[in-house]
Amino acid sequence: MHDILSKQRNVAFYLTYLLVGAILFGFIAAFTLFAVYSERKIAGFVQDRLGPMETGKYGSLQTLADILKLIQKEYITPAAADKALFAAAPVIIFVAVFLGFTVMPWAPGMAPSGLYLGLFFVIAIISVDAIGLLMAGWGSNNKFSLLGSMRAVAQIVSYEIPSGLALIAAVMITQTLDLREIVINQGILTAERLLFAGVWDVTHIGGLFAWNTFQAPHLLLAYVIFFIASLAECNRAPFDIPEAESELVGGFHTEYGGLRFAFIFLAEYAMMFLVAMIGVVVFLGGWNTPLPNIGAAKLADWTTGLAWGIFWTLSKTLLIVGIQMWIRWTLPRLRADQLMALCWKVLTPLAFLSMAISGIWRVWVMV
C-alpha cells in the first residue's frame, strides 16, 4: 500500500516536471513566433516599409507559415560534416538556453525551480551555449561556419566578464544569488528595509523606487553594461559578427536547414528573452510593479499578485526585447577589434568600478 502511494507520488512528481517543461517550451515557441513577426515588422517600419503583409491579416500568420515550412523540410547533412557534432549542436544550443529558464521567477511564489544559486546557475548554463556554437561551426566543416563560431566563442567568452561583473555588483547589494529572493527584496513584499538611493525608506512605498537600480543608483551603470554585454552574448546586432550575413553567409548556422535551423533560431530568440529577463529580475524589479503606494492610493498593493506578477515580468521583458530589436535595426555591426576593445578597455573597467562602488555602498550606506 505504502509502496503504491509513493510510486504515485513519484509519477506525479515527474509529471509535474514534464508539464512545467512543456509549458516553458510552449511559451518559448510562442514567444519566438511573436518575436520574429514583431522583429520583421519593426525592421519594416524603421526602414519605411510594411514588413510581412500577405499571410493572414497584416501578415500575422507569416511566422506560423515559416515554421510549418521548416518542420516539413528534409534534414541535410553535408557529406564532409562531422555527423555526430553536426546533429548534436542545435540540441545543445537550445537546451543550454532552455535550462536557463528553469530558475527564472515569474510572479510571487512562482518559479519553475527554486535554486539558491539561481543567478550563478543561469550564468553558467548560458556559457554552455558557446560550446554548442563551436560544435555547430566545427561540425559543419565549412570555413564560414568555423569562422563564425570562432568569433561567437571569442565574443561570448569576452563579454561574460563585464556582464558577470555587472551582475556581481548587483549581487553585492542583494547579498543573495537566489533569483526569487532578489526579486522579493525589490518591492513591498520584502521582509527587509529598503532605501531609495540609500536615504529614503521605501519599504512600504515600493514601486519603481524599490528596484535595485534605484536602491543603489550606480547599478544603473551596471545595468547598461549588462545590457550591452547581453546583446553581445546573444549575438545580436551591433555585435552580430558571428553571423555577419554580408561576410560569412550565415555564420555558424550556414549549413543548417529545416528543423535543426529552427532550433538554432528558437535558441537565439529564447536567449534574447532570457537575457532581457535576467536584466529585469536583477536590476529592474522583476515581477514587482513600477507603481508606488502614494498615501491612500495603494497602487503598489493593488498591482502586486500572481497575475500582476506575470504581467509585469512579461511587459518589462518584452519592452527590453523591443529595445534590443530597435538597436539592431539602427546600429551597424562593430568590427571584431572594436568589439574586443569595447569589451576589455571600456566595459570591463567600468564593471569593476561599479563593483567597487557596490562594495563601498554596502559598507558605508546600507549598514
Partner 1 sequence: MFKITIQAFITAAKGLAVTLAHLFGARRSRGTRDVRKADYFDQQGGVTTVQFPKEKMPIPEVARYQLDVEIDDCIVCDLCAKACPVDCITIESVKATDVIGKTSDGSVKRLYAAQFDIDMAKCMYCGLCTVVCPTECITMTDQYDRSMTNLAELTYSFADMTPEEVEEKKREWTKFQAEKEAAKSK
Applying CB under 8 A, the residues found at the interface with partner 1 are 42, 44-50, 53, 326-327, 329-331, 341-342, 345-346
Work out how close the CB of 329 gets to partner 1 at its nearest, in angstroms, rounded to a whole number.
6
CB 130 within 8 A of CB 152: yes
The nearer residue to partner 1, 156 or 347, going by C-beta atoms, is 347
The nearer residue to partner 1, 147 or 350, going by C-beta atoms, is 350
Q: Which three cell numbers stand for residue 287?
A: 515581477
Work out how close the CB of 224 gets to partner 1 at its nearest, in angstroms, rounded to a whole number.
9
For 56, residues 6+ apart whose C-beta sits below 8 A from its C-beta are 62, 64
Work out how close the CB of 356 gets to partner 1 at its nearest, in angstroms, rounded to a whole number.
17
* DSSP letter, residue 298: -
Work out how close the CB of 45 gets to partner 1 at its nearest, in angstroms, rounded to a whole number.
4
Half-sphere exposure for 220 (CA within 13 Å, toward CB): 7
Cα–Cα distances in Å, from 3 out to 6, 7, 10, 16, 17? 5, 6, 10, 20, 21
The nearer residue to partner 1, 120 or 329, going by C-beta atoms, is 329
For 329, residues 6+ apart whose C-beta sits below 8 A from its C-beta are 42, 43, 46, 47, 237
The DSSP secondary structure of 201-249, one letter per residue, reads E-TTT-GGGGSHHHHSTHHHHHHHHHHHHHHHHTT-TTS-TTT-HHHHT
Q: Coil, strand or helix: which one is 104?
A: coil
Work out how close the CB of 46 gets to partner 1 at its nearest, in angstroms, rounded to a whole number.
5
CB 293 within 8 A of CB 300: yes
Residue 234: φ, ψ to 5°: -100, 20
The nearer residue to partner 1, 23 or 341, going by C-beta atoms, is 341
The nearer residue to partner 1, 89 or 350, going by C-beta atoms, is 350
> Of 260, 317, 249, nearest to 73 (Cα)?
260
The nearer residue to partner 1, 48 or 74, going by C-beta atoms, is 48
The nearer residue to partner 1, 238 or 290, going by C-beta atoms, is 238
Work out how close the CB of 228 gets to partner 1 at its nearest, in angstroms, rounded to a whole number.
10
Work out how close the CB of 50 gets to partner 1 at its nearest, in angstroms, rounded to a whole number.
4
The nearer residue to partner 1, 97 or 166, going by C-beta atoms, is 166
Work out how close the CB of 47 gets to partner 1 at its nearest, in angstroms, rounded to a whole number.
7
Q: What is the four-CA torsion angle of 83, 88, 90, 93, rounded to 10 degrees?
A: -140
Question: Which residues lie across from 294 on neighbouring strands?
Answer: 297
